Amino acid sequence: QTVVTQEPSLTVSPGGTVTLTCASSTGAVTSGYYANWFQQKPGQAPGALIYSTSNKHSWTPARFSGSLLGGKAALTLSGVQPEDEAEYYCLLYSGGAWVFGGGTTLTVL
């Protein structure tokens, strides 16, 4: 079964820019993996940010963007706000099944 790997933790300063990545054990992530990104805060259900690599939902703040970077899916936050401190999960479609990454804890400090 595919294993999806994310950075366990990252720290960013308010107003800064940070990129989270999502790698697949099967090889380079392409558009065919339909990467999704979610934000989860304690005690809440995950909230969807990005789908199909780079598409934003109608509610996704403009500072969030998705892309492919160096064979991985990537989520970039530009102009980070204190409220962006959360757990971030990627989700990849591989072999007819969805697989979540282990999550990245983003600290805004």
Alpha-carbon dihedral sign for residues 39, 105, 18, 51: negative
* Closer residue to another protein in complex, CB, 1/82: 1
* Closer residue to another protein in complex, CB, 44/82: 44
Q: Closest approach of Cβ 25 to another protein, in Å?
A: 14
Integer Cα distance of 37 and 52 in angstroms: 9
- Tell me which DSSP letter residue 27 carries: B
Task: Identify whether the C-beta of residue 29 lies closer than 8 Å to the C-beta of residue 68.
Answer: yes
* Closer residue to another protein in complex, CB, 33/84: 33
Would you tell me which residues interact with another protein (CB under 8 A)? 1, 34, 36, 38, 45-48, 50-52, 55, 57, 89, 91, 93, 96-103
Q: Closest approach of Cβ 84 to another protein, in Å?
A: 19
